[in-house]
């Protein structure tokens, strides 16, 4: 078998090394790879029309379960997540355009389509809000590994009640498979860095 000239062998080795170093694909698998999270659902969008998880097949999706009347946690989490998406878009506009952010309200009694629209528009023009019947919401939340508790009427007092809920922003791939959680607790820069890892 003929031997490659030394210079050619060196060039080939260098090329392979550079190719490996230049690869921006993550070396590790996604943190939520294989997790039993997610699944199709249909809720009512902020425009009053039905909206389904499968409507976004082919796109990466972020999803957060909360409520618009939340005094602090939901606004903070969504502000940081959407600011992170904007930062990601500044560096990678084409990749960021593949991400569809979603907000599911678990408080349908107060979060009317108008309220949801005002809430989502405050954070990102592409953030879509939705909600539905309580029983349906409970099943969907369970599918996505999150929990919430809305006080019943006897616990609501003057109507200014709080809703307990999970505070996690989940990232899914274009096939609807879970990839990672977005570190909103660490700020927009950390969110952008996480999106850069997984949104190809």
Domain boundaries, the chain: 31-198
CA dist 19 → 4, 24, 159 (Å) = 20, 10, 60
pLDDT at 24: 58
> In 10 A of CB 81, how many CB atoms?
25
Sign of CA dihedral 96, 175, 188, 69: positive
pLDDT score of 44 more than 80: yes
> What is the Cα–Cα distance from 81 to 64, expressed in whole angstroms?
10
pLDDT score of 19 more than 80: no
CATH of domain 31-198: 3.40.30.10
Share of the chain above pLDDT 70, in %: 86
* 85-141 pLDDT, tens digit each: 999 999 999 999 999 999 999 999 999 999 999 999 999 999 999 999 999 999 999
- Collapse the DSSP code of 56 into the 3-class scheme (helix H, G, I; strand E, B; otherwise coil) and give the result: helix
pLDDT score of 180 more than 80: yes
pLDDT score of 152 more than 80: yes
> What is this structure's pTM?
0.87
């Amino acid at each position: 078998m003929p031997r490659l000239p030394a210079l050619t062998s060196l060039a080939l080795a260098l090329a392979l090394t550079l190719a490996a170093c230049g690869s921006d694909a993550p070396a590790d698998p996604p943190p939520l790879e294989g997790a039993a999270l997610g699944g199709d659902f249909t809720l009512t969008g902020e425009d009053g029309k039905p909206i389904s998880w499968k409507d976004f097949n082919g796109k990466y999706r972020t999803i957060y379960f909360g409520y618009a009347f939340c005094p602090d946690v939901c606004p903070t989490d969504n502000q940081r997540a959407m600011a992170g998406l904007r930062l990601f878009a500044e560096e990678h506009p084409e990749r960021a355009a593949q991400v569809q952010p979603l907000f599911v309200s678990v408080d349908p009694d107060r979060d009317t389509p108008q309220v949801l629209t005002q809430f989502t528009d405050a954070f990102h023009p592409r953030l879509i809000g939705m909600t539905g019947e309580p029983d349906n919401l409970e099943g969907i939340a369970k599918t996505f590994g999150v929990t919430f508790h809305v006080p019943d009427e006897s616990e609501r007092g003057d109507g200014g009640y709080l809703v307990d809920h999970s505070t996690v922003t989940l990232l899914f791939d274009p096939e609807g498979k879970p990839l990672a959680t977005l570190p909103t607790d660490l700020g927009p820069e950390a969110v952008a860095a996480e999106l850069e890892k997984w949104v190809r």
